[in-house]
């Protein structure tokens, strides 16, 4: 067939052979627009490089890796690879809801900051440094009290437990032997007047301000 048809108005052409309506300029629709066939396609661009396709009873399908942009080209949604949906913004992505339910693993490549509590409901026990409900490959910094409901394990030989703002008192694990209190520091009982300590090399003092029984 050819594009021979009935010109209804300037820039508007209907071809009865192909059942196509061609509009060379802007089109203004005064009310609803229906694409009444399943799998109907809405094309955009001089070469139809972007399209929206109706998926029956399911969705609208944006073709290939084309983007749905918001505001400018720096903020958009698209499929970057098969099965991979990207939400991209050049500054921030903000999600506001009473509850945000994520089903699946979370892979964060930068800092995670929470203004509220972080609660882990998983009850897996820890038996090493790579299991348990909460696991980190680096150090753990805690500004306030630590409450442990069960055992605390320092699993490395020569592990050190430090006390004080400048770690002036420490207890060091001596493999297969014991625990070493540093320098001439004291192990006190009840108050500062009753204690044991090493007063000199090879000299252990047991001190009490009243009686040693």
Instruction: Output the pTM of the full model.
Output: 0.69
Tell me whether strands 191-200 and 187-189 are parallel, antiparallel or unpaired.
antiparallel
Kindly list the strands in the beta sheet with 59-62, ordered across the sheet, starting from the edge strand earlier in the chain. 41-44, 50-55, 59-62
Query: Each residue's pLDDT tens digit in the chain (213 positions)?
Result: 344 445 455 566 777 777 788 888 888 889 999 999 999 999 999 999 999 999 999 999 999 999 999 999 999 999 999 999 999 999 999 999 999 999 999 999 999 999 999 999 999 999 999 999 999 999 999 999 999 999 999 999 999 999 999 999 999 999 999 999 999 999 999 999 999 999 999 999 999 999 999
């Amino acid at each position: 067939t050819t594009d021979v048809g009935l010109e209804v108005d300037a820039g508007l052409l209907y071809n009865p052979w192909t059942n196509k309506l061609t509009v060379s300029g802007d089109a203004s629709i005064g009310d609803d627009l229906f694409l009444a066939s399943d799998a109907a396609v809405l094309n955009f661009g001089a070469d139809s490089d972007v399209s929206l396709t109706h998926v029956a009873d399911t969705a609208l399908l944006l073709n290939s890796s084309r983007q749905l942009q918001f505001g400018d080209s720096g903020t958009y949604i698209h499929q970057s690879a098969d099965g991979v949906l990207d939400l991209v913004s050049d500054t921030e992505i903000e999600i506001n809801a009473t509850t945000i339910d994520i089903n699946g693993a979370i892979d964060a490549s930068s800092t995670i900051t929470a203004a509220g509590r972080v609660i882990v409901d998983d009850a897996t026990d820890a038996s090493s440094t790579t299991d348990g409900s909460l696991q980190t490959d680096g150090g753990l910094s805690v500004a306030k009290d630590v409450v442990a409901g069960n055992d605390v394990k320092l699993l490395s030989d020569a592990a050190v437990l430090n006390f004080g703002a400048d770690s002036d008192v420490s207890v060091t694990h001596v493999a297969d032997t014991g625990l070493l209190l540093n320098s001439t520091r004291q192990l006190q009982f009840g108050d500062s007047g009753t204690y044991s300590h090493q007063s000199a090399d090879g000299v252990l003092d047991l001190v009490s301000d009243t009686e040693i029984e």
